[in-house]
A and B are shown apart, each in its own frame.
Chain A
Amino acid sequence: MSVPTRNGVIGVARRRVDGRAKVTGQTRFADDLTLPRMLHCKLLRSSVPHARIVRLDTSKAAAHPGVHLVLTGETFPDCLRGVAGEPRRARALP
Chain B
Amino acid sequence: MKDALPVDEPTLEDMQAFARRHGLGGLKPEYVARMRELAVPVARFGLQVRRPPRKEDAPAPEFRLPGR
Asked if A and B bind, the verdict is no
Binding site for B on A (CB under 8 A): none
B residues lining the A interface (CB < 8 Å):
none
